Structure 1
């Protein structure tokens, strides 16, 4: 089968398009004939050896796919072969065939195409789990989204608005228009020095929820801007550095710092994730949600897609068509 292969740890330019043996599903696994695979920030980490998982070489990156069930491993009852599905694979998705744990596979409605399906789990699944299940977001609250122009960031803007929240998007100026189009009431340039001063008049009493995918030097100014009883969602560290926050701020603000590990939540409760995805499917069917897909490229452009993610040049998601 065709696959984009990582033969040694390195930058995206070290990836090669080649032939690899077709995987076989083991116990509790589903083999998927991949039609589309989304490029995500964890893919850039796994190929550099900077991710918690280190598959043996050669391996294909790609943790999020959509397609159809090709075969079931021992002990797996379904979905039946031929069923259209989306899935989180961890790695292996940048290939014609990929294996996913049974609990990570969700049947995809016929009305949702594979390109859209491939863009849902990592961004929109994470966001709905974060805002609904972890932060318990209520209508009328204000959400500050850090890194609002990225895949998860734009998804957070969209979903927070659907849940009735007011959204302040923190992004680089080139992505402000996209943030407003996604539903942000206000935008700020968090790459500017002293960006917190621009936030203060927008939320004089602080923001109730912070959705943070970037970490680094942006985390502490954001935490200092949280409202009493607010909830700070730790989603990722795209800035590269894990922040070392002064915990006295949590005491002074009476706030919660909440970790968001969507993949582990899915593993622990697949049924809850199927219900979560059903909510996303319903919003899409009703026309209330349109996933923010920036580009649709062929599989062989995977290295270019990952490089664009590393350089933070992507507004929304890039989906690779297999």
Structure 2
């Protein structure tokens, strides 16, 4: 059953009403098809109106929706073949970042991204998508592998941020993030990154300093979470909505600022309502960008990527 967000309550009421009417129709006692069709039209209009004017804070809620596609869903929907590669060859295998060799519509790539998990056990296993130093060192290893074999790199970003625990800091969290970002900028092969949900702080940038950065329509990308920003500025997370507005975290704002290059439209009501359609649209956009970049030589790829990020400074 679909999980509704707070601002979707009117939509939930209509869809629950439709579900109740369908049960009545199944009994064969009353003809309610006309009323169902009327309510479906009304629901679709309400859904379109609601999602056409979401606030930044509401978009943050959509970006975090537990039923949005996860990395494993993208692997299933994007690739014909995926060979996972584990470990950083130094400490451990961080399950918050998953990656490996993949084939997307006949194209060989290195595909990696954050995995948050979709139930209690898997969320704990993947640490809610918050990578530790070994996760970023694994990402570095995969990027070096891509360089060695001339494979484009595709990354899918969905993290609230890097893991902030003491153990991560003891193992060099900041250095690992910096090295991963550096490796992105030094790649001699095309790199395309997509913000598919949350793009939080350096934990996101570490695998998103790409030639082309795409972003789902209702995803968010920011230097800190709205709650974290509110806690610093107002000493309370209750001001998260105000912080989200001020930080310009939405795809529309970031496209205007030149932080991202392209917005990928989501199905009506968000990617969680139709994951298959969302993944299909993402696949088309990623392949288009990879193909365009594949026509560039190494020098052009490096120059384009570095210029892109230097212009933001």
Task: Give TM-score scaled by structure 1 length.
Answer: 0.30
Greater relative contact order, per chain length (Cα 8 Å cut-off, separation 6+):
1
Q: Given the two structures, how large is their TM-score scaled by the length of structure 2?
A: 0.30
Q: When you count helix as a share of all residues, which structure comes out higher? A: 2
Q: In proportion to residue count, which structure has more strand?
A: 1
Q: Report the structure number with the largest CA radius of gyration.
A: 2
